[in-house]
Structure 1
């Protein structure tokens, strides 16, 4: 995959995202929005953005593994945050680095502040597209 952060676009966040990702022929894995629910169906981190972010990224990692993909195969990530505010950016991305470490997916990304998600106690939802290169 070619990851491009052109000088013609803002590069302040290039340590967190890639502005453009171009993939060769591949299989695409579309991972549904993951929330902070564990395998037993329990919500992790009620009213706690950090704990929910940790569980969400763990779920993303598990979904990638199930698809035969790795974090490096992620071509797009959308992060939806209930009642988003600036200080949550560091909280959320730090949780992602705790889960993925050096394998944090530098990819085309969008962070959206939303009023609500599918259930009232969900604070963060992340969906991903990954390209499994043949």
Structure 2
């Protein structure tokens, strides 16, 4: 069971779909940026940001499970997108996995390109697993 807390910083406007601060005791888990590749290395959802986001979150889920963690343990998500207009589709996929009442801290950055032109987003995650 997660022992994370979500302090509300005084003097900082509330986040829209993210927390400014997440803290908790336990083992640190860092997950490299995940993209919309399936288990064979094929792109899922070419040209479709929501389909790619769903695959990215499936990959993140698999990585979290491999570390003995779940999305309840995620304290930070970093989003790298080739078009910031993809954020609503990405949030739809994200909200199927995170506690929207206490979402993780997040950063979203628009980038010129990712490692392949058919990849629209990359997401990395950090989690703290209770010992």
TM-score, scaled relative to structure 2: 0.89
1:124 is matched with which residue: 107, 121, 125? 121
Asked if residue 3 in structure 1 is aligned to residue 6 in structure 2, the reply is: yes
C-alpha displacement at 1:97, in angstroms?
2.3
Find the counterpart in structure 1 of residue 93 from structure 2: 95
Following the alignment from structure 1 to structure 2, what is the Cα–Cα distance between the partners of residues 7 and 104? 18
C-alpha displacement at 1:101, in angstroms?
6.5
C-alpha displacement at 1:12, in angstroms?
4.8
In the alignment, is the contact (CA less than 8 A) between 1:2 and 1:21 conserved in 2?
Answer: yes
Structure 1: gaps spanning 5 or more residues:
none
Q: Sort the Cα spacing of 1:103 and 1:9 in 2 relative to 1 into closer, same or farther, 3 A.
A: closer
| Aligned-residue CA RMSD (Å) | 1.8
Q: Sort the Cα spacing of 1:105 and 1:49 in 2 relative to 1 into closer, same or farther, 3 A.
A: farther
Q: Which runs of 4+ in 1 moved over 4 A?
A: 101-105
Structure 2: gaps spanning 5 or more residues:
none
TM-score, scaled relative to structure 1: 0.87
In the alignment, is the contact (CA less than 8 A) between 2:6 and 2:102 conserved in 1?
Answer: no
